[in-house]
Amino acid sequence: MPSGIRSEELIAVGTIVTADITGTAAGKLGHADGYVLVPAYGTDKVVELLSAVLIMDFATAAYTAGGNTTINIGGGGAAVTGLVSTGNFIAAAADAIYHFVPLSTVGNAMTANRGLNLVSASAPTQPGTAAGEIHYKVTYRVHTTNL
């Protein structure tokens, strides 16, 4: 029986550069598991998304292809936010700012030892001159469950 849950609120800040936006290897946005925004914290810890702000900083040309974007439980888990269409975010021809919040229609199942990943339904592609970056700030809690 757990002796109680301990929680800590944290913030992750970073930039996803062109090679990580169009890359398809593990850890890249174009990979099925997406780009790691918040790492896993261990077997007795779960990560709770509080909110995230993502900025597509347009430069030179828009990325092409790509799919709807969500924040998911890391390692191939379910989406924990609503989606933003690729045309309005990654493939936008101008700067774009989005606020992601947890889905509220049903409870989000939490999974131990998983972080939070930014996931595109399909890989964005480089038309040759796209140089935009995605800046992110994710506010989250890490709960120690002692399970």
Per-residue pLDDT of the chain (147 residues; tens, 9 = 90+): 446 778 999 999 999 999 999 999 999 999 999 999 999 999 999 999 999 999 999 999 999 999 999 999 999 999 999 999 999 999 999 999 999 999 877 787 888 999 999 999 999 999 999 999 999 999 999 999 988
What is the C-alpha end-to-end distance of the chain, expressed in Å?
8
How far is residue 98's CA from residue 101's CA, in Å, rounded to a whole number?
A: 10
In a 3-state reduction of DSSP, which class is residue 21?
helix
Domain boundaries, the chain: 6-144
Closest of 64, 79, 63, 68 to residue 117, by C-alpha: 79
The one-letter amino acid code at 34 reads G
